[in-house]
Amino acid sequence: MIRVMPCKSNKLHTLFLLSLLMIMGSSAAYAGKPVFELQIRNHLFEPSTLSIPANTKIKLLVHNTDKTPEEFESYELNREKVILGGQKAVIFIGPLPPGKYPFFGEFNPKTAQGEIIAE
C-alpha cells in the first residue's frame, strides 16, 4: 500500500462494497449437519472410501492417530487442512452433486489416499 496516487472521493466504491457484502455476508450456520468420521492411522485413511449424501452439507471429523501431522488435501473438494499428530479437525464439505471426489494426505501421498462418494 505504498503511496502513488492523490486523494479523490468516490461513493461508487462504497456502494459496490456494500452490495458485495450484503450478498456474501449472510453467514448463517447450517444446523444439524450429518457428521462423518475419518481416521488417519499409519499414514492411511480409514475408511478410504466414504459415502455421503449428495446435495447435503456434511461435517467430516478427521482424527489423526499418528504422531506426525498430515494434510487432508483435495482439489476436487477445494479443501486443504493440516491435522496435527494425535489431534482432530473438522472439515465442512458440500453440498456436493453426485460423484466421486478423491482426497489424499499431502505428507504421505503414496499411501494416504481416499475417496468421498456423494450419492
Residue type, position 102, single letter: P
* Residues between 78 and 97 that touch other proteins (CB under 8 A): 78-82, 84, 90-94
CB of 13 to other proteins, least distance (A): 5
Q: Which is nearer to other proteins, 49 or 75 (CB)?
A: 75
Cell of 75: 482439489
Does position 34 interact with other proteins (CB under 8 A)? The reply is: no
Dist. CA 84–CA 39, nearest whole Å: 13
Cα–Cα nearest to 79, from 24, 38, 32:
38
Q: Is-contact 62 91, C-beta < 8 A? A: yes
Q: Please report, as ranges, the residues that interact with other proteins according to CB under 8 A.
A: 1-14, 16-18, 20-21, 24-30, 57, 69, 71, 75, 78-82, 84, 90-94, 106-107
